[in-house]
């Protein structure tokens, strides 16, 4: 049994946007254009052992494109990061840098949370 019980963002599924109908949403790039996607950037600690992480959710693109974007974000931030279930996680507080990099890539990101 874990201490504390309630965790708002304990897994990647809690950050995903619900799909409408499920058709054409296989991650093959058939989704919305970059400038119409609801990309959210937020900092979180939950489930990471107290470490601060910047989570980027709402990206609808092929996995190869997400990996390229992750590589750009890691290089510009100078930190590590990972891609899990279309959720990009960067180590540390990289919200401002991630917002800027995503805008340059053609997305319209918004900061979520406080």
Chain Cα centroid distance, residue 57: 3
Per-residue pLDDT, 4: 59
pTM, rounded to two decimals: 0.69
Residue 32 within a domain: no
Residue 77 lies in a domain: yes
Q: Are residues 64 and 46 in contact, defined by beta-carbon separation less than 8 angstroms?
A: no
pLDDT in tens, 9-27: 556 565 565 555 444 444 4
Residue 71 lies in a domain: yes
Question: What's the CATH code of the domain at 100?
Answer: 3.30.780.10
Instruction: Give the chain's domain count.
Output: 1
Q: For residue 63, give the 3-state DSSP assignment.
A: helix
Using alpha carbons, select from 8, 88, 15, 16 the residue that is nearest to residue 46: 8
């Amino acid at each position: 049994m874990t201490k504390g019980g309630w965790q708002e963002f304990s897994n990647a599924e809690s950050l995903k946007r619900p799909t409408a109908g499920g058709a054409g949403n296989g991650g093959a790039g058939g989704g919305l254009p970059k400038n119409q996607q609801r990309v959210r950037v937020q900092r979180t600690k939950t489930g990471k052992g107290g470490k601060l992480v910047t989570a980027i959710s709402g990206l609808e693109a092929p996995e190869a494109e997400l990996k390229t974007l992750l590589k750009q974000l890691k290089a510009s931030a100078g930190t590590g990061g990972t891609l899990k279930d279309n959720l990009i996680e960067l180590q540390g507080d990289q919200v401002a840098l991630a917002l800027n990099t995503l805008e340059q890539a053609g997305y319209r990101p918004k900061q979520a949370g406080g």
